[in-house]
Chains A and B, each alone.
Chain A
Amino acid sequence: MAVPFFAAIGLAMRLDHGPIRSPADAARPGFVLRDEAAALGVRFVHQRPTFDPKIANIEPHVAALGASISVADFDGDGWPDLYFTNSRFGAPNALYRNRGNGTFEDVAAGAGLADLNRPGEGVSMGSVWGDIDNDGREDLLVYRYGFLALFRNVDGRRFEDITEASRLRRWVNSNGAIWFDYDRDGLLDLYVTAYFRSDIDLWHLETTRIMHSSFEFATNGGKNLLFRNVGGGKFEDVTDKMGVGSTRWTLAAASADFNEDGWADLYLANDYGPEELYLNERGRRFVLAKAGLESESKSGMTASLGDAFNRGRLDVFVTNISERGYLFQNNNLRLNQMPDAGRFRNVADAQVADAGWGWGAQFGDLNNDGTNELFVANGFISADSSNSYWYAMSKIAGANARMFDDAATWPAFGNASLSGYEPSRVFLSRGLAGWVDVASAVGVTDRYDGRAVALADLSNRGAVDVIVANQNQPAVVYRNRPDTANHWIAFSLVGTRSNRSAIGAEVVVEASGLKQRRVVDGGMGFASQNDRRLHFGVGRREWVDRVVIHWPSGHEQVLSHLAVDQFHTVREPSR
């Protein structure tokens, strides 16, 4: 009896090092990533906020968000530009204009988008671009721990603060917002997620009882808000009318037509709670769906959409927390089975399930082989690497809620790290063999506290680059060099009946056995927004058979036999 007993212990020790037979091949990923931020002229360093001294004991925890990145061609010159937010009073946000020659320049101050972190106004947590008035210029919403701020793009160089006039001047402790057109009227509406309650001013606390009421099923967060664009640059609050005022500490939102009924739905990743899917009932109201999400409560931190297995559907990746010995919440890779089964199925396993303390993530075809890779930023707080807060966290995390909903009762953070210095993950799909992390093999070696990830072809050369905003640390720009033997095709969509940014448009590319769907996002991932242009790798295929565009207006457009290795600008048929 002793032999199998001790053999079982030995087997457990062996399995601790990974599967006995590696399920997926990490060799030949087909692309290389190099951080060239400095060479590009992107020298942004995020600075974290400081708050009321009453919560000094856990300030590193509360102040651990705010680094964000959003991409848009704000000046209409055909080159994607970058906007980073900062989070300390007086620290400027940065708008990096893409000069088109491989360098960027920070033009935020001149554009009126730098000085947004001020006492009484709040500090920036992120931003999303969208053409709210369909004038062909991308406008900008900045969400803060503080007042929302909306800026109209005046002439592609200067921005005008129209927050008050647009009726959006609301104090929201927000970590996310997305543009989408839920009522298909051709005007972009706005969904703002709230984290801390909106009656809390983190610099002038009346109480320290501001934390979550449960680590798993908390509903005492801020109330998310839905604003309908009524035209003329004005918005109205329709949160209650539409039934989307979740108070579940939402960290990320994303929108797509998950059930393929022609109306944009809403997916929320919530901290301290289960994810939520709100199905759009023809623009009249949203209904919280029972889609298999409610049974798993974790710490959702990103809502990233992508066609994970080339099924022609948008699946959802949500990051969570994993820390050896303490907690394996495991990430969620939810296969979209909404159109036929009315639910999502979590298929995350092995490597893709554990990315440490994961934050932002994006699907993108980094090697242009026709299948998506998955870039995941991670790491929460990197301070004294020899002092972990996990042990302190374990004391209260399982305790009764009254032990931790008061920030004052948390163990002091000091200079401890909490899942710090984690390496980013780059997951490569090997089909049925699963996902394999190739980060170090492709050159992703930073150990910053990654927050927001955005993808953009910064040089218009058919390669998806990766931009990562890191908390209290420098941003990185990973320039991508994919296998040149593979082909690609990209689409720049212009809405006419739909919103001009074409946000919400979904494109399905079919090319000899390949079928893949992407969506033009109005904010996706964590505190991030990708390039509006949709990039598809097609491998060795030299043409694309068919392209179907599902416009937000409900119109479906079919294109055939498009050439590869080029951008296609597609204008929505006017009728």
Chain B
Amino acid sequence: MTHADLSEARTTVRWWDRGRRVDPRYLIAFLITLVLVVAQLRYHVVGGYDRLALALITCMATEALLSWFDRGKVVNLQSAYISGISLTLLVKPQGGALWPFALGAFLAIASKYVLRYRDNHLWNPTNFAIVALLLAAPNRVSVLSHQWGNDLATNLVIWTFGLVIAARVKVLHMTLTYVASFLVLNALRAVALGQPVMPELAPITGPMYQLFIFFMITDPRTVVRQRKWQYVVVVIIALTEALLRVASDQGWPLPIAFNAAPALAALWLVGPVAKWIDLRRSGQRTPAQAPLPGAPATMPQADRGSAQAAGAGR
């Protein structure tokens, strides 16, 4: 190794160390913003800045209002920011309708305050809102089923940043477990049903799954606490998704949400049950899981368990 190489390596380490000192929540916010900017600049995915503004404003206003109403103070709005951007990226309305963004944003944030058990919310807010909209209004709302140019370069950018940040906030094991489970289960499903394997693996290369594996399934606020159970729950989510896909393969009359967004539906079904069992087993609140939905976590905790600090209920 040359002197220059060593110098470069040291610089990289310094950047990494500096990165470790950054509040992980900012990294998540940075990643979702990066996704939004790249997708908009290259592929104009937003479909109108009024949608973005409405989703963001509604999320943040709802968070501010409900936290003040609930706890007497306004909590950190970063998770609301993440929810607003995620909704903008994922929800596709019929025509120029704006109400799905307003209602979706309200439902996402309000779900954290209404659907609670032992002071913890059970659903990832964005996941709850999108599936709720798809179940309640499938004639007016769809999820993004093809977007972003089907482009490898964009995938690589998001995967690279996503993996680095997931590692930094210590949720990478969940991401990778889900990806591995998806590949294995859907390959098996294809073989069992006598279908070609490639189309069954194709969805995971798409943008909906990128948002899903980096922003929803790893949400520290709604995952179970112990690492070993995190593996188990992620596998169960992937298994549930595979079963939903089998049902779709067989033409069962499922709600359209389950056909169109099986991954989101699987998390929507499994996530809260797992969380509820986890909370019930623990019988108490945990220090790492702050009592306030959307409340900021402290930096010492971030160092210990960055994942918990990072999510803040996005």
Contacts and interface: CB of A to CB of B under 8 A. Distances in A.
A9 B142 contact: no
A1 B94 contact: no
Interface in A1-16: 1-2, 4-5, 8-9, 11-13, 15-16
B119 to A, nearest CB: 14
B76 interface: no
B1 interface: no
Interface residues of A, number: 53
A480 to B, nearest CB: 28
Contacts of B97: 349
Given A328-B92, A394-B260, A401 B151 contact: yes
A323 B203 contact: no
A325 B44 contact: no
B109 to A, nearest CB: 10
B292 to A, nearest CB: 14
A396 B145 contact: no
Question: Most chain-A CB neighbours within 10 Å: which of B94, B134, B248, B256?
Answer: B94
B303 interface: no
A11 B257 CA distance: 18
Given A323-B142, A398-B206, A401-B150, A12 B95 contact: no
Contact of B114 (A5, A215, A326, A390): A5
Nearest to A396: B202
A402 B201 CA distance: 12
B140 A16 contact: yes
Contact of A403 (B47, B202, B207): B202
Interface in A180-218: 213-217
Given A297-B43, A403-B202, A215 B150 contact: yes
Contacts, number: 173
Majority SS at the chain B contact face = helix
A72 B35 CA distance: 52
Contacts of B151: 214, 217, 400-401
Interface stretch (B11-19, B79-87, B99-107): B99-107
A409 interface: yes
B214 to A, nearest CB: 15
A400 B150 contact: yes
Given A13-B136, A395-B200, A348 B150 contact: no
B198 interface: yes
B150 A325 contact: no
A13 B107 CA distance: 13
B69 A394 contact: no
A195 B178 CA distance: 39
Contacts of A348: 95-96
Contact of B248 (A15, A324, A391): A391
Contacts of A396: 199, 202-203
Contact of B205 (A13, A216, A403): A403
A325 B256 contact: yes
Contacts of A165: none
B111 interface: yes
13 contacts: A1-B66, A12-B133, A15-B99, A15-B137, A328-B141, A391-B249, A392-B199, A396-B202, A398-B207, A399-B203, A400-B152, A404-B150, A409-B199
Nearest 7 CB-CB pairs, A to B?
A398-B206, A325-B256, A353-B95, A399-B202, A397-B146, A16-B137, A400-B205
Given A325-B141, A403-B198, 5 more contacts: A1-B70, A1-B113, A297-B43, A396-B203, A400-B205
